[in-house]
Structure 1
């Protein structure tokens, strides 16, 4: 920080999105702190989303140390989707926060690809003495067309959605993705185009909107969403 304010060292900074997100949090924290100095009762006027205990948060400082010093880490990790528990050794590159959970992203030796691991599912973390040379990888590009975490598959493609007149207001106020382009409105429905990976997290966002959105293209993704909705509806027939 200089006497006249802050400056950004582009050689050391993370992505601009991460920086502005950090500044947003810092500004909010400063505002609340100043308000509390004036009147402690103001604390009762601020409410945050409660997500329960932040499991694994005590590991963040160790993981950051390993990233900063380019040291290989070992741990046991559980995959919630498959139920598998395995031993992993990775080269850690960065931490990512998504929906109040933290993930460590690193290169797995046996396939030379980047994977993400939920910090809340890591056990027996060991920071080894093995030092690795960081790749000159464009880590920002990993998530360029990704909503959520799964950046390895499927491949990014054009997705066309149709929103009703209520849901489109929310999508305008908070975009699903930076590639979002709004098309024409007809009979109360507005078309929106995205260029993203139609991954698991993206599908979850679509399903959360209920009948406020319809997937038009690609057909395989539309069919996938349709199957999930049919399977869900079948559970309520009794």
Structure 2
């Protein structure tokens, strides 16, 4: 059996159990129906399922256990749920492309420039092995083109861009660099000691990669219509509803109120109002006034 068939089966099992807990017979029936659609070899036995659950736990960090009381298999823990969901989503898109003919007539993707993903493999290798790397980086601000030597720590995605989180040896601080602006990447054989820097903790209150403003409570009022979209695709993981009626919905966040988030707020135009903090409310008001002046 091809390795792709195994992975496809793992993903079908995860997706089924995310939807609802299932008996072995229900899982087996579900996989057989998917097999008719995809043509993949998805049929399982009890022994095969146990082997699959071990592989799913290892590859996807998702623990599936048998609930003896209910007689069903269920997901009991997903350590890194969001990143795994993105990986599964990407795999399913690739699979869909393989299954369909004349895909250009059915699937319309956004046209955008290369995002530097060609650097991902090399940088992840350097991160795993603690190798120093150097590259030329193009800044949109004041530096222009500049050579950088860094200790790579992690890769972060933000707003359809990829960033290298690293310790800059010249600046002697943690910085991030857009992969799409990196050229002449070189991985040296010079090793460095592992950093105790917690990337997840550092960026947990960030919208994007900016953290220069202190994190604080932010409250936005959206129209009832726009709030449906905000509920289905939250602006940030801290999002929670603090008030709702037939006309408006108030969402609270705990975030760094940085430039990137200001631009996100402005994107929603008359459908959003900043309620707190007062400083962010004033900043958005000033930006709107500046915009109005351009048309007077």
TM-score, length of structure 2 as denominator length = 0.70
Residues 145-196 of structure 1: CA deviation (Å, up to 9, x unaligned): 1111113x21211001111122111101111112111122357222111111
Could you give the per-residue CA deviations for residues 190-222 of structure 1, whole angstroms, max 9, x where no partner exists? 211111111122112111111111111111111
Say which SS state the counterpart of residue 47 (structure 1) adopts: coil
Q: Judging by fraction of residues, say which structure has more helix.
A: 2
Instruction: Name the structure 1 match of 2:197.
Output: 137
Q: How big is each residue's C-alpha offset from its partner over 1:113-146, in whole Å with a ceiling of 9 and x where there is no partner? A: 3211011212332222210121233221122111
Structure 1 residue ranges without an equivalent (≥5): none
**What stretches of structure 1 move > 6 A for 4+ residues in a row?**
none
Q: 1:235 corresponds to which residue?
A: 294
Which residue is equivalent to 2:84?
19
Q: Which has the larger radius of gyration?
A: 2
2:66 corresponds to 1:7: no
For the 8 Å contact 2:165–2:175, the answer to whether it is kept is yes
Show the 5 A alignment for 1:148-167. 148-151=208-211, 153-167=212-226
Change in CA separation of 1:47 and 1:14 when aligned onto 2, cut-off 3 Å: farther
Q: Is 1:47 matched up with 2:108?
A: yes
Determine the structure 2 residue equivalent to 1:179.
Answer: 238
Query: Could you say what the CA RMSD is over the residues aligned between the two structures, in angstroms?
Result: 2.4
Q: Deviations over 1:81-137 (max 9, x none)?
A: 345443322111122222332211111235553211011212332222210121233
| 8 Å contact kept, 2:135–2:182 | yes
Give the whole-Å Cα distance in 1 for the aligned partners of 2:183 and 2:173. 22
Which residue does the alignment assign to 1:73? 133
The runs of 5 or more residues in structure 2 that have no matched partner are 1-6, 11-47, 62-77
Contact kept? 1:15, 1:140, Cα under 8 Å: no
- In structure 1, what is the equivalent of residue 44 of structure 2? none
